[in-house]
Structure 1
């Protein structure tokens, strides 16, 4: 599975203004790693947002969010955000903030 190169670049630019990160190909797409943890990723044209278990239900209620069912079952703490929910920089920033909040709550690897 491929990933949207334009969205990947937009996420790179947004993350670069907040944290140091690296990239790794995973889940058939591109993942962004922060402090050794997967923060978010791009699969096809969707953002794969790692929001964590505490924010999961609230984030699922947001427009353009859906369960990540990569394995056939919902992965708690992981959400897909459809392309329509990522058109504006403000939308991407909001989702990245959810991801960064969770990743910063984890011990560094």
Structure 2
């Protein structure tokens, strides 16, 4: 599966402002990691966001969000956000959630 290169570049630009960033192809898309932990990823036209297990219910209540499924199983602590809802402000909000969840983890 390919990923939306325009969305990936928007994500890169916003995250690079404050974080040391590594981009890596994974999950059929491109993920962005800070301190070795995945913050977000671009899969197809959508955004994969680390929200942490406690943040999942609130995240899923937001427009365009759905559970992240991998190999038929729901991955706790992750949501997928539909690309069509990701205007600049919404994208930045999701990136902040991803940063917060990743920052709660020890560096790898």
| TM category, shorter | over 0.9
List runs of 5+ in structure 2 lacking aligned partners. Answer: none
- TM-score by length of structure 2 reads 0.97
1:73 maps to what in 2?
Answer: 73
TM-superposed CA distance for 1:47, in Å, is 0.2
Q: Which runs of 4+ in 1 moved over 6 A?
A: none
- TM-score by length of structure 1 reads 0.96
**Structure 2 CA distance for aligned equivalents of residues 19 and 54 of structure 1:** 24
* 1:63 aligned counterpart, secondary structure: coil
List runs of 5+ in structure 1 lacking aligned partners. Answer: none
2:33 maps to what in 1?
Answer: 33
Aligned length: 108
1:49 maps to what in 2?
Answer: 49
Please report the RMSD computed on the Cα atoms of aligned residues, expressed in angstroms. Answer: 0.7
1:1-109 correspondence runs (5 A)? 1-86=1-86, 88-109=87-108
